[in-house]
Chains A and B, each alone.
Chain A
Amino acid sequence: MNFDQELDARGLACPMPIVKTKKALAPMQEGQVLKVAATDPGSVSDMKAFADATGHELLSTETQGNVFLFYLKK
């Protein structure tokens, strides 16, 4: 999947993946895609909840080994 920015949140635990995602999205343009990599298992439901609450679209969630990849469209 194409993305405009990338965020490495691997090794970080709640709430940092979401906090850093919000920070990474801030300077991005509407319609751009942010790819987030996280290892925190809680981040799967957190990312969905974040997307629901903020109106950004969670395009897809992938798992690669123990890493979760999220594609968020602003």
Chain B
Amino acid sequence: MGEMENVAGLDPALAQHIDALVARKVEEQLARMKPKAPPSMTIIATKGTLDWAYPPFILASTAAALGWDVAVFFTFYGLNLLQKDLSALKVSPLGNPGMPMKMPFGPKWFRGINWNIPNAVQAVVPGFESLATTLMKQTISNNGVAKVADLRKVCIESDVKLIACQMTVDLFGFEHSDFIPEISEFCGATRFLPMAQKADVSLFI
């Protein structure tokens, strides 16, 4: 910049000062002109159990509450989260060592016990998964945590885009009518990935 000819025969120090000033003013002007876009987030939801239903819906609804632009792509078992009847969602402690097995009833000392029932027993007892699901739902409701259906409703009301993977629909023999009507679109990875690229935050669940 200093190399430019001082057309008006300006003092070089003054010319340098003017260059710097112009650069700063242009930057300020550009910043003013750029529209202030809210932060954006995309989530890829791949799991379809009761426990894994929470992270995508909680993150999406919270981000929406903060004013963010959110889109969630439901693929593979994540499609379970878009079905009309969410009461079918189950959770299993089988082979799931991260899951605490605490009873949601009884006195405090009783509730504190982690039963850690062995996989071998879980696999043999019929209805174990249904029992675990019921107990998990009780635990969730005891702690004032919303039902998955309510969280999904909040997402819909907050304009979170719920996008379904068409390939998975075909793969598992679903019909569009199995799902809630509020799905923004059925599409593939090619359509979704550019959305993820533009987003400020991109999560894989």
A residues neighboring B (CB under 8 Å): 11-16, 18-19, 21-22, 39-40, 49-50, 53-54
Which residue of A11, A18, A54 is within 8 Å of B62 (Cβ)?
A18
Which residue of B58, B61, B67, B145 is within 8 Å of A53 (Cβ)?
B67
In residues 170-201 of chain B, which contact A (Cβ within 8 Å)?
Answer: none
Which residue of A14, A21, A22, A39 is within 8 Å of B58 (Cβ)?
A14
B131 contacts A by Cβ under 8 Å: no
A19-B146 Cα distance, complex, nearest whole Å: 11
B residues neighboring A (CB under 8 Å): 58, 61-62, 65-67, 143-146, 151, 154, 158
A46-B62 Cα distance, complex, nearest whole Å: 10
Give the one of A12, A19, A21, A54 with max B CB within 10 A. Answer: A19
Question: Do A15 and B62 touch (CB < 8 A)?
Answer: yes
Taking CB atoms, residues of chain B closer than 8 Å to A53 are: 66-67
Taking CB atoms, residues of chain B closer than 8 Å to A11 are: 144
Across the A-B interface, give the 10 residue pairs with the lowest CB-CB distance, nearest first.
A15-B62, A13-B144, A53-B66, A22-B65, A13-B145, A11-B144, A18-B65, A12-B144, A19-B65, A15-B58
**13 A-B pairs, CB-CB below 8 angstroms?**
A12-B144, A12-B146, A14-B58, A14-B145, A15-B62, A15-B154, A16-B146, A18-B66, A19-B158, A21-B65, A50-B65, A53-B66, A53-B67
A21-B144 Cα distance, complex, nearest whole Å: 16
Contacts across chains A and B counted by CB atoms under 8 Å: 38
Output the least CB separation between B56 and chain A (Å). 12
Question: Do A15 and B65 touch (CB < 8 A)?
Answer: yes
Which residue of A19, A40, A49 is within 8 Å of B61 (Cβ)?
A19
Which residue of B61, B67, B154 is within 8 Å of A54 (Cβ)?
B67
Taking CB atoms, residues of chain A closer than 8 Å to B145 are: 13-14
Question: Do A16 and B144 touch (CB < 8 A)?
Answer: yes
A50-B151 Cα distance, complex, nearest whole Å: 18
